[in-house]
């Protein structure tokens, strides 16, 4: 009896649920993406709880504490008005993440709708949609964004709308290509043969099977949107002061106080760089996981 028992495979109970084991396995296969995900979780927590975590009021002016270098009291120093830079970085994360997530979500959603309609219906509908997207992509991005931001007046909502228009054509192109491939699949033809309506085929059969490129595109679009918002803030076309945004902080630090107080430019620059780099690493990891051709790769 003992000999038979010894030959049986031993099952080790790790105490982890199947979902947790899958997440742990993904983290081991994609350590860079997992690390980037942790960084983004920290950034999101800081942005969400900035009013609680920030050591000072980000807009409190203290002229007696102007341009103080980093210290134990002010970890990232103070700016030209004596405002705590760390507190403004934390509150600026709220604007940058809101702009990134909002613009990427809105632009990707619009691109999915237009790409799905154009790719599946084809004909004049596809031609009209693609010509509009071509016209938007032909315009220099920074000029298009500057015109939109100026016409709409600087505010977070208008910045999100302007960036979403920039994101939409790329999303539409990617989704259209995926739909053109999917609509020739056997399961789509089978659904059409039994009388399924075009709307049902698009929503129930085609769209779910194009989610992998959509998720990857949306994750990368968030990073692009954060950079664009920072660029608009650098040009003075984002949220109005005294609201803290990484772009406006970088503008002040780089143009006016780079030699006298370099931390005013370094701090927001690092915040933008680390956040966008982490988003791109996470998007690259998602691509490797969701794309069957790259699923076995590591990194």
pTM of the model: 0.79
Tens-place pLDDT, residues 185-225: 888 888 888 888 888 888 888 888 888 888 888 888 998 88
69 DSSP assignment: P
CA 42 to chain centre: 15
- Mean pLDDT for the chain? 84
Question: CA 129, 131, 132 angle in degrees (round to 5)?
Answer: 65
CB of 229 within 8 A of CB of 236?
no
Lowest mean pLDDT among 17-21, 251-255, 258-262: 17-21
For residue 259, give the DSSP letter: T
The pLDDT of residue 168 is above 90: yes
pLDDT at 111: 94
- Mean pLDDT is lowest, of 2-11, 61-70, 252-261, 286-295, for 2-11
CA 259/CA 67 separation, integer angstroms:
12
Residue pair 92/249 in contact by the 8 Å Cβ criterion = yes
Question: With bands split at pLDDT 50, 70 and 90, how would you rate the model's confidence at 267?
Answer: very high
41-55, 134-148, 281-295 — which is least confidently predicted? 281-295
33 pLDDT tier (thresholds 50, 70, 90): confident
DSSP string, 114-128: HHHHHHHH-HHHHHH
Mean pLDDT on 165-190: 89
Phi and psi dihedrals of 84, rounded to 5?
A: -70, 125
Question: Considering only CA atoms, which of 225, 219, 267 is closest in space to residue 246?
Answer: 267
Highest mean pLDDT among 4-13, 100-109, 207-216: 100-109
Structural domains of the chain, with CATH: 29-55+75-294 (1.10.3720.10)
Quote the pLDDT of residue 1: 46
Whether residue 149 has pLDDT greater than 80? no
């Amino acid at each position: 009896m003992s000999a038979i028992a010894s030959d049986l495979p031993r099952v080790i109970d790790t105490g982890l649920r199947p979902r947790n084991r899958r997440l742990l396995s993904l983290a081991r296969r994609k350590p860079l993406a997992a690390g980037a995900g942790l960084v983004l979780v920290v950034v999101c927590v800081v942005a969400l709880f900035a009013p609680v975590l920030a050591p000072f009021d980000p807009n409190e002016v203290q002229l007696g504490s102007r341009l103080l270098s980093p210290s134990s009291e002010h970890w990232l120093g103070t700016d030209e008005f004596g405002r705590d830079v760390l507190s403004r970085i934390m509150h600026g994360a709220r604007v940058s993440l809101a702009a990134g997530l909002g613009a990427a979500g809105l632009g990707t959603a619009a691109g999915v709708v237009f790409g799905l309609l154009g790719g599946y219906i084809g004909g004049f509908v596809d031609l009209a949609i693609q010509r509009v997207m071509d016209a938007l992509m032909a315009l220099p991005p920074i000029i298009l964004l500057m015109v939109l931001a100026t016409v709409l007046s600087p505010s977070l909502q208008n910045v999100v709308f302007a960036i979403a228009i920039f994101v939409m054509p790329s999303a539409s192109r990617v989704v259209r290509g995926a739909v053109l491939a999917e609509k020739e699949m056997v399961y789509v033809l089978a659904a059409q043969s039994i009388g399924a309506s075009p709307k049902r085929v698009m929503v129930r059969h085609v769209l779910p099977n194009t989610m992998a490129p959509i998720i990857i595109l949306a994750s990368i679009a968030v990073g692009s949107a954060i950079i664009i918002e920072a660029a608009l803030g650098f040009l003075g076309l984002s949220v109005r002061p005294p609201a803290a945004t990484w772009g406006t902080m970088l503008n002040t630090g780089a143009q006016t106080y780079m030699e006298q107080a370099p931390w005013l430019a370094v701090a927001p620059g690092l915040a933008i760089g680390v956040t966008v780099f982490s988003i791109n690493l996470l998007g690259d990891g998602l691509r490797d996981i969701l794309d069957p051709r790259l699923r076995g790769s590591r990194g």
